[in-house]
Amino acid sequence: MRFGLTLVAACAACLGLGADSSAVARSAKVEARSAKAAASPPAHHSHGQYAETFTDIEGIVKEVHLLVPHSWVYIEVTGAGGAPQVWALEATSRGGLEKVGIARGYIKAGDKVKARCHPLRDKNNGCLLGFLKAPDGSVKDWDGGNAPAPKDF
């Protein structure tokens, strides 16, 4: 990328436009972004690190991050020995969540929630989020598929 910017600036200087021309700088940024986009093939990871079975957990929301490519909800649950544990729940993207009616403020820090998710195979405190029950009792599919809520949840 830096080479492309230097080349554009050098050509601008040769043409008498000046290396610091704002039009040249804008053009260089556009070219650099275009080159980066063209050189970056779409890729995604598998969900192989998660078990195929579901587990239900309940806890208090510590943080919510509606992001791209994945959103995250961190909840504090009571562990087997009674000690608090923070779990990281991976969800679909912000856009995918918005399509199923989940927006900023749907849940927030301090809310008590219930989650049905695929736990990590390595037994660490994390899972791939399927369904989440908000304090108002509504259940949404945080995997982005807008699947109906399970009757036993």
What is residue 64's predicted lDDT score, i.e. its pLDDT?
98
Poorest-confidence range of 34-48, 108-122, 123-137? 34-48
Q: How far apart are CA 44 and CA 111, in angstroms?
A: 31
Q: How far apart are CA 47 and CA 25, in angstroms?
A: 41
Q: How far apart are CA 38 and CA 59, in angstroms?
A: 43
Q: How far apart are CA 147 and CA 126, in angstroms?
A: 22
Residues near 36 by beta carbon (within 8 Å), at least 6 away in sequence: 1
pTM score, two decimals?
0.70
**More confidently predicted of 18 and 54:** 54
**pLDDT class of 62 with cuts at 50, 70, 90:** very high
Name the β-bridge partners of 120: 50
Q: What is the mean pLDDT of the segment spanning 118-142?
A: 97
Q: How far apart are CA 94 and CA 106, in angstroms?
A: 12
